[in-house]
């Protein structure tokens, strides 16, 4: 278990230090802005959609290691997914972060499971889900800044 936890920490650190898909996207089909006042994390999420499928996704922002790594891993997980699959992934990711492990039978989230340990730190759950809440706002075309409060 220790090895696995170290591996997860390494993955999070790697995505924090070298975030994937961190760039402004122009032109863009969908965009939303998110803010987590508890930690000070800020993020912009950009989406390119064709026929209800995420063709490209990127983010910009400044935040802690957890929020940045989560945004980076999220962008990797979403390319090619339909809106429906994206919503499903978000609810499973949210469950991973908020439900006891024993009750979580089917996470099947690949690299996103690296965030399972965040469950023990409720304040950090908001950091880990900020990018996802912002993504959801972008999909629903909300134009107000999303906050985790
Ligand atoms: Zn944070």
Beta-bridge partners for 146: 34
Give residues whose Cβ lies within 5 Å of ion ligand 1: 39, 41, 64, 67, 127
Indicate if the pLDDT at residue 1 is higher than 60.
no
Q: What is the mean pLDDT of residues 48-52?
A: 94
Report the number of distinct structural domains present in the chain.
1
Residues 44-56: what's their mean pLDDT? 96
Cα 63 to ligand 1 centre (Å): 6
Radius of gyration of the chain (CA): 14
Average pLDDT (22-38) is 95
List % helix, strand, coil for the chain (3-state, nearest 5). Answer: 50, 20, 25
Task: Provide the pLDDT confidence category of residue 4 given band limits of 50, 70 and 90.
Answer: low
Residue 146 has pLDDT above 90, yes or no: no
Could you tell me the CATH number of the domain that includes residue 52?
3.90.1010.10
Per-residue pLDDT of 82-141, as tens digits, reads 999 999 999 999 999 988 766 556 668 999 999 988 988 888 999 999 999 999 999 998
From ligand 1's centre to the CA of 145, what distance in Å?
A: 16
Q: 55-85, pLDDT tens digit by residue?
A: 999 999 999 999 999 999 999 999 999 999 9
3-state SS assignment for residue 61: strand
Provide CB contacts within 8 A for 92, sequence distance 6+. Answer: 106, 107, 108, 109
* Domain housing 25: 2-147
Query: According to the model, what pLDDT value does residue 144 have?
Result: 78
Q: Measure the CA–CA gap between 121 and 109, rounded to whole angstroms.
A: 20
Report the pLDDT value the prediction gives residue 101, as an integer from 0 to 100: 66
Task: Return the closest-CA partner of residue 114 out of 12, 2, 1.
Answer: 12
**Ligand 1 centroid to 108 CA: how many Å?**
24
Q: Is-cis flag, bond preceding 27, omega within 30?
A: yes
């Amino acid at each position: 278990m220790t090895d696995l936890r170290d591996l997860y920490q390494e993955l999070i650190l790697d995505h924090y230090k070298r975030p994937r898909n961190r760039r402004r996207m122009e032109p863009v089909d969908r965009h939303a802005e998110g803010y987590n006042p508890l930690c000070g994390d800020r993020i912009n999420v950009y989406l390119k959609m064709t026929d209800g499928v995420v063709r490209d996704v990127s983010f910009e922002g400044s935040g802690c290691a957890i929020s940045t790594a989560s945004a980076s891993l999220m962008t990797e997980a979403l390319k090619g997914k339909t809106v429906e699959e994206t919503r499903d992934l978000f609810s499973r990711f949210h469950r991973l972060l908020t439900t006891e492990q024993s009750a979580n039978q089917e996470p099947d989230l690949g690299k996103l499971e690296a965030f399972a340990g965040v469950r023990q730190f409720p304040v950090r759950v908001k950091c880990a889900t900020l990018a996802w809440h912002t993504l959801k706002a972008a999909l629903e075309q909300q134009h107000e800044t999303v906050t985790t409060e």
